[in-house]
Structure 1
Amino acid sequence: MIEVSAKLIGGPIFMPGSKVGCCITFTHPPLPSDSRSQSNNDVLENLAWASVQINCLCLTNDSINFPSVMCVTKDEKFLGNSETSFAPCLTDNGHVVLSTKPKILFCDVGLSPGENKSYLYSETLPNDAPPSYKGHLVKYAYKITVGMQRLNSPIKLLRVPIRVVVIHGLTEGVTCENSIDLSPSNPFLESQFKHEECDMALQILQNITAKRSPNFYNITNSRGKVARFCLFKQAYRLGEDIVGTFDFEQTDVSCIEFTVSLQCEEAVNKDFIAVSPRPRKDNVSIVSYNTQHQFCANTLKSFLQLAIPLNVTPAFSTLLVCVKWRLHFEFVTSTKTSGERLDETKEGTCWTGPEHVDIETMVWDLPIQIYPSSLSVRPSLMTSDGCGGGPLRLCA
């Protein structure tokens, strides 16, 4: 029996163009102390081979015709079966949109009781890799698959999930802004350009999301000004709070209440939507996350604070789907005075609420930019199919 464990180097979150590191350990547990003494050939465990590969699976709902040009493993179905061939995605649902070249860790390795051997797997993600995403219409999921086999035994697979995040609109710009290095270089040494490019992208991201440049918006309808909204910045990182203020002074329309929601808009390319006899809008899905609702009748100023969840996916765009973020506003307005005057005293004027109010509802969407947070995460240990269960065992 051999136990296999995988430890991600640098954490489970990566960027396109960055290196994925994984330390894979094969262990032969020690024999019980009360076991009978046996020859070395009887207790030695042998593995014929082990190989590693990174795959990205794309899953869609029934209303989407997945484009065949995005599949990268069209011939995997001709490899036979998963018991005799290393085909990590042969039995999985979905379409493989990214697949790295398999790397062989070893061939014909023997382990004595209590012995273990570790191997370091390293692979660079393509620059055009899509991010990890779990939407209503489209899903992208990454995994590192370790395949291994003993003689005359079926293949065993260890799957380690990873998360890929994309800095939308920044990675391409970083490559273009870098000047060409004309100094002599050794072609046999690994270039540090990709590491510098990743660090520069994170630095640009830090500069963009740290800027505070208040933007003011006059919200109006057909009868005049409803409110003035101030958003302190347009770019945010995962886990940050969206902060803004409402000013209801010097307005033409009385606002009774408002609702603000943080929404994610998932739009699938219409070219890939299945033809339906009835008109429908299956290519767009809108999901609301955090919402703030407030009554603001007779209020001069109000405050907005919405938290951005850490587990959502920032904005990105692929050939199949485009994901954007926005603030969705709903205002309830009235054309009449919000109360009736009772009497006037030295302290002020007393008002009473009306029994009936004629209202109108208006909506407004404000696009915002959401970027990834810091990628520095503790290394994680996976000893099963990424579910945190017991170790994967290879038995004779």
Structure 2
Amino acid sequence: MIEVTANLARGSTFLAGEILECYITLINTDREEKRNLAYNDCTLAWASAQIHCQCAVSDSRVVLPKSDILSTEDVTSTGDQTSFVPSKGERGLTVWSSKPKILFCDLRLGPGEQKTYLYKEGIPKDVPPSFKGQSVKYSYKLTIGTQKLECPARLLRVPFRVLVLYGLNDLNVYASGEEVTPSNPFLEQRPPENTLLEVALQVLSTVTAKRSPHCFNITNARGKVARLCMFKQAFKIGEDIVGTFDFSDASIPCVQFSATLQSEEQISEECRKKPGQLPITMSYCKHQDFCLHSRKTHFSLPIPLSASPGFISDIVTLKWKIHFEFITSQNAIPPHAAPSNPAECSTWRGPENLEVETMVWDLPIKVFPTNPLHASNVSLLKTSSMVEM
């Protein structure tokens, strides 16, 4: 019996543009004492590996445009049991696939013998990211196919996650032009060679850095409700969105507020099932607080590492926002009268009935990818898979 194991060399999350590496090990699990028996030698006819991206859509909301991409059912029906069809049995369409690479042909393994191969493949920068939405789903898998003599082909799949950071097509743009460190005239000066991951982390640090705070005056038809200050409006997944509220100069008393982190999944016009179809909103976390008689307060919203950053594809667009709700009083609320003697204490009792109104406001934000090594630490995807033949 042959045991085939595939193990990703560096976690289960990659940036588009990186090179995926996978170690594929084949072991003959028969006992060592039968090594001299010829029938215990297992021969594998071939083995190939390929990366493919599957797109599955909701038929009630999405109409895919006509294209030359074959569906999985069409591809499966044209192949027999001995051909290598990586998307066999998968749901949806194959929107991208790498060229299949042959790992070996005619491999013979004796009892207890093993062989390891290294598979390398680059992920293009313009592919859609991994995404699991209500209407559209993009998923990536590495498929290894192998076949024993006079047996049907077997497939081994290893799912992984792809994050896309736009603007990495030309790495020379991010290369430093002048040397700022002291140079030695007796040593040969070599330009620094930054990998794509190092450049991507530099770009992420630049676009998500804290700059001047952004302040917003929140008002309604009757006056000012609050003043919101945020340190930035661009974040990486895994970060905390922090903002502060100032009610000291408000003319309208705010009784309660809530802040909800939401994403909007909007289908492109040519792919919508119905005209005027509204986007799907998904909420992730919520901060709610009572703020009556408060001068200043804050909110904090963590962005899950499992969430998908904002992106645009031919079918769907994902955007992020913070949904605010303010409950304000329509009547003036008398403040708490403090006693003249500091040693005395007093109790303030609020009104039994309070006429309120609700005001909503959406603040768009930008959400970018993070370090794929950090995302791999919390990923539920397995980095290895095994099949027996």
Partner of 1:241: 240
Q: Does the residue aligned with 1:216 lie in a helix, a strand or coil?
A: strand
Q: Does the residue aligned with 1:376 lie in a helix, a strand or coil?
A: helix
Partner of 1:293: 288
Amino acid at match of 2:279: V
Match of 1:316 among 311, 320, 340: 311
User: Any residues of structure 2 matched to 1:1-396 within 5 Å, and which?
Assistant: 1-31=1-31, 37=34, 39-62=36-59, 63-69=61-67, 71=69, 77=75, 80-81=78-79, 83-167=81-165, 169-172=166-169, 174=171, 196-275=195-274, 281=277, 283-339=278-334, 345-347=340-342, 351-376=348-373, 391-394=386-389
**Equivalent-residue separation in structure 1 for 2:103 and 2:22 (angstroms):** 12
1:173 deviation in Å?
6.5
The Cα offsets for residues 180-226 of structure 1, whole Å up to 9 and x where unpaired, read as: 9xxxxxxxxxxx99964443222111222232431111111111111
**Equivalent-residue separation in structure 2 for 1:8 and 1:173 (angstroms):** 27
Q: Does the residue aligned with 1:154 lie in a helix, a strand or coil?
A: coil
Amino acid at match of 2:329: S
1:338 deviation in Å?
2.6
Please tell me whether the aligned partners of residues 6 and 385 of structure 2 are also in contact (alpha carbons under 8 angstroms).
no
Q: Does the residue aligned with 1:351 lie in a helix, a strand or coil?
A: coil
Q: Does the residue aligned with 2:78 lie in a helix, a strand or coil?
A: coil
Deviates more, 1:308-317 or 1:81-90: 81-90
- Taking a change above 3 Å as real, the CA distance of residues 118 and 38 of structure 1, as seen in their structure-2 partners, is closer
State the TM-score, normalizing by the size of structure 1: 0.85
**Equivalent-residue separation in structure 1 for 2:367 and 2:297 (angstroms):** 24
**Equivalent-residue separation in structure 2 for 1:357 and 1:70 (angstroms):** 63
For structure 1, list consecutive stretches of 5 or more residues without a partner in the other structure. Answer: 181-191, 381-385
- Taking a change above 3 Å as real, the CA distance of residues 12 and 390 of structure 1, as seen in their structure-2 partners, is closer
Q: Does the residue aligned with 2:372 lie in a helix, a strand or coil?
A: coil
Please tell me whether the aligned partners of residues 264 and 326 of structure 1 are also in contact (alpha carbons under 8 angstroms).
yes
1:72 deviation in Å?
6.5
State the TM-score, normalizing by the size of structure 2: 0.86
- Taking a change above 3 Å as real, the CA distance of residues 70 and 341 of structure 1, as seen in their structure-2 partners, is farther
Please tell me whether the aligned partners of residues 70 and 97 of structure 1 are also in contact (alpha carbons under 8 angstroms).
no
Please tell me whether the aligned partners of residues 12 and 383 of structure 2 are also in contact (alpha carbons under 8 angstroms).
no
Please tell me whether the aligned partners of residues 218 and 228 of structure 2 are also in contact (alpha carbons under 8 angstroms).
yes
Partner of 1:383: none
1:10 deviation in Å?
2.1
**Equivalent-residue separation in structure 2 for 1:170 and 1:349 (angstroms):** 61
For structure 2, list consecutive stretches of 5 or more residues without a partner in the other structure. Answer: 178-190
Please tell me whether the aligned partners of residues 340 and 353 of structure 1 are also in contact (alpha carbons under 8 angstroms).
no
**Equivalent-residue separation in structure 2 for 1:7 and 1:16 (angstroms):** 20
The Cα offsets for residues 354-390 of structure 1, whole Å up to 9 and x where unpaired, read as: 111111111111111222221236999xxxxx76898
The Cα offsets for residues 92-149 of structure 1, whole Å up to 9 and x where unpaired, read as: 1111111111110000000011111111111111121111111111110000000000
Amino acid at match of 2:252: V
- Taking a change above 3 Å as real, the CA distance of residues 237 and 390 of structure 1, as seen in their structure-2 partners, is closer
1:306 deviation in Å?
1.3
- Taking a change above 3 Å as real, the CA distance of residues 258 and 78 of structure 1, as seen in their structure-2 partners, is closer
- Taking a change above 3 Å as real, the CA distance of residues 8 and 353 of structure 1, as seen in their structure-2 partners, is same
Partner of 1:189: none
Please tell me whether the aligned partners of residues 146 and 155 of structure 2 are also in contact (alpha carbons under 8 angstroms).
yes
Deviates more, 1:321-330 or 1:337-346: 337-346
Amino acid at match of 2:247: F
Amino acid at match of 2:83: S
Q: Does the residue aligned with 1:53 lie in a helix, a strand or coil?
A: strand
Partner of 2:184: none
Partner of 1:185: none
Identity %, equivalent residues: 40
